[in-house]
Every structure is written in C-alpha cells, then in structure tokens.
Amino acid sequence: MSTKRAELAFLAVRGCSAAAYFLLVPFLALWLIDARGLAGAEAATVVALCLFFGRAGGMMAARVLDRIGLKRSVVIAYLTAVTAAGAMAIYAGDDLAAWIALASVLGLAFSSATAALKALVVVAYSPEQRLWAFSKLNLAVNAGSAAGIAAGGYVIAEAPGLLIWCAVALYAGALAALRLVPSVDERPAAGAGEEPATGGRGAFWLFLGFTAITWIAYAQVFNVLPTFTADTVGSKSISYLFVLNSVMVIVLQTPLTAWLERRRRARPRAAALAILPGAHAALAIAVLLFGFTGHASLAVAYAAMVVFTLAELVFGPAYDAQVAEVRGRMSNVAAYGVAGAVRGGAESAGTWLGITTVTGIVWPAAGTVFWAPAAGLVLVAGYFLLQASRIRDPHAAAAGRSALRGASSRGGSPPRRR
C-alpha cells in the first residue's frame, strides 16, 4: 500500500487525534474546576483515570478489537471518542462518577484507536516500508500535539466553553479522514490468517523491558526537568528547550528518516550496527548531560536537547516498527496495546520517582534521576548492538523469511536447523 492519498489519510488521522488529545487533557482539570465546579482532588481523579485508560485501554480492549477487525475497530473507537467528548461538552453537572465514566471512556477510545491504527499500518505497509510509515506518523503526532497544546492554552484563556467542542471537532476530523484509509484487513486482525512474527514470548518481553527503560529516561526529560531546574534555570528558559525539540522533530523527521533508509539499503549490516545502538548511546549521553542542567552552562542543556531529539527521531519510529517484528504469536492489536501500556506505565512511574526525588534531595544527589536511566540506556544500546552483530546476510535472511511464508502457505514446513 503506497498511494499518496492513503498515506495522507493516515497522517490526518494521527495528527487530528493527537491534537485533540493534547488540546484537552492538559487543561481538563482546570476546565472541570472552573466550568463544572469540581474540587481540585475530584478533577485530578478524573484526569488521572483519563490518562490511565488513555495508555492502557488498548491492551484491555485488544481481544474485542481483534474480533471486530482493524479498520472497523479504529472507526468505532473514534466514533466513541466523538460521542464521549460530546457528552462531556453537553453535561453540565458536577457528579464525580459521571465525569469519571466519561473521561475513562474517552481515554479508552483514544488508546484503542491508537493501538488498532498502528496494527493497521503494519498490515498496510510491507516490512521494508514500516519504518518510513511510522516516521511519518511520528511527525504527525508531534505536529498535532504541539498544535493541540498551543490551541488548548489559547482556548482555555479566551473561550473556555469551546474547549471540549474543539476536541469533538478534531476527533470528528480524524473519523472523517478514516474514509480515505484503505480497508486492507478483509478478515479480523487475529486468528489463523495472521502469521506469527519472528521471536518468541521471551523476546517480546525483553523488548518491553528495554522499552520501559527508554521511556523512564524520556519522562525525566519531559516531565521532571522543569521541577529539577525550578530553582536554578527557571521555567521560561526550560520551555525554550521543548520548543527546540518540537521544531527539530517537525523539520528533521522526514529528511533524517530518508537519509537513514538510504544508508540501510546501501549497507544494511553497518546500518544495523550503528543506527539503533547509536541512537540509544546518544540518548544516554543527552540524559546524562541533563543531570547537570542548572549547574553548568545552559548551552550544555541545549546541546543535550539537540542530541536527545536526534536520537528520539530514530528510536521513536523504530520502536513502533519493532513491535510487529518481535510480537511472536500475539496479535498486532494486542502487541501494540501492551507496548502502549508499558510506555505509559514507565513514563508515569519515572515521572513520579523523578519528581519525588528531585523535590526531596539536593544536587548532585538529585542528578541521579537522570544518571541512573542514562546507565540503563547504555545497557539498551548494548542489547541492540548485540542483536545487530548477529546479522550475517540481511538479504538472505529476508529471502529465507519469504521462503518460510511460502512453505507455510502451501502447508509444508520449513527445514530444521542443524
């Protein structure tokens, strides 16, 4: 599947969805307190459950999504999101149970749509195209989230009554764009028709463990750094770091991915040894440097953000693409649901541990929240380097996988290794 129209449809769906989520969720507690009269603790509970289901919902709903089919699952999920957000806009009461139910359904719908859409991308694109496809989606998500946060801040200040309705409109836009996404799954996503990926259950859980390490480190930069530097650098200077990150992602994601793809095709073994291990090594260096923010020149923090963003442009899409490669016999929807839950859980745990630590002790001990994940990232880099070193002839391996699939489709069995 490579039509330009379908590609733009995928980008529109992810961009609108990310914009809706980030327009609403960061400002939802404030809106609930000011516009619906909830107490601070009540609003915090509503938002926390929305975030929880927004991360883990895809894993919880995986069995149902498998039975429904990929595209139908995405359509139903976004239709549910439109309905839930619309109900939130209309409901004027202050009943906590009602708000918990609506916010939880919204989070569940968002997470389910994300997991099913990623699985749809896996089916729609060949293995050689997936990294490129997920890179484009990563660009759409970052652009949408940046636009959503900016729009949400403006709307909550100027016209708070329109905040939820803006989210409704964006989710409706994602739903409308789905009409252009091809119906590539004529059968349900799970079952006999779906071939198991390479790697067993152990490989998948090992991959999830390294995913958790990476997202704990990610949380320190995006969620803990402002608190870590509150008494030294200040929030204004730190906010410019995140602006730099957003601009670099939007400008560099496509050309950097294209350049990496050319290197991968020209020298596949060298690329495997350098790209993903190198990205994690660079990420480790960046996170290590962030631990000195406020106690070294601010230029060090900006240099760290440049290195961090370049690494993010590589590992973000690569992790999405690798889920389909190491899922074993798990369905694509279930695998992406579990991966999303692990990322969310790791980010939440990393944020809690980081903020608790940096507010309780002083530097240099507080820098441990950055230096410990950096050490973990060195381990991750070593793992991917070890995996890449086992590659002997990628083209022959690809041919072998094709032969295996052909033998399976004819009812035969592949030859055993001796």
pLDDT in tens, 265-303: 777 777 777 788 888 999 999 999 999 988 888 899 999
Domains 4-128+138-177 and 201-391 share a fold: yes
Mean pLDDT score of the chain: 81
CB 304 within 8 A of CB 315: no
User: What is the Cα gyration radius of the chain?
Assistant: 22
Work out the number of other CB atoms within 10 angstroms of the CB of residue 141. Answer: 22
* Superfamily of chain region 4-128+138-177: MFS general substrate transporter like domains (1.20.1250.20)
Work out the number of other CB atoms within 10 angstroms of the CB of residue 229. Answer: 22
CA 220 to chain centre: 16
The pLDDT of residue 269 is 76
Q: Whole-angstrom Cα distance, residue 388 to residue 275? A: 10
pLDDT in tens, 116-153: 888 888 888 877 777 778 888 888 888 888 788 888 88
Q: Whole-angstrom Cα distance, residue 70 to residue 78? A: 13
Would you list the domain boundaries of the chain?
Answer: 4-128+138-177, 201-391
User: Among 346, 348, 356, 231, which residue's Cα sits nearest to residue 293?
Assistant: 231
The pLDDT of residue 184 is 61
CATH architecture, domain defined by 201-391: Up-down Bundle (1.20)
**Residue 189 reports pLDDT greater than 50:** no
**Residue 338 reports pLDDT greater than 80:** yes
Q: Going by C-beta distance under 8 Å and a sequence separation of 6 or more, which residues neighbour residue 68? A: 76, 188
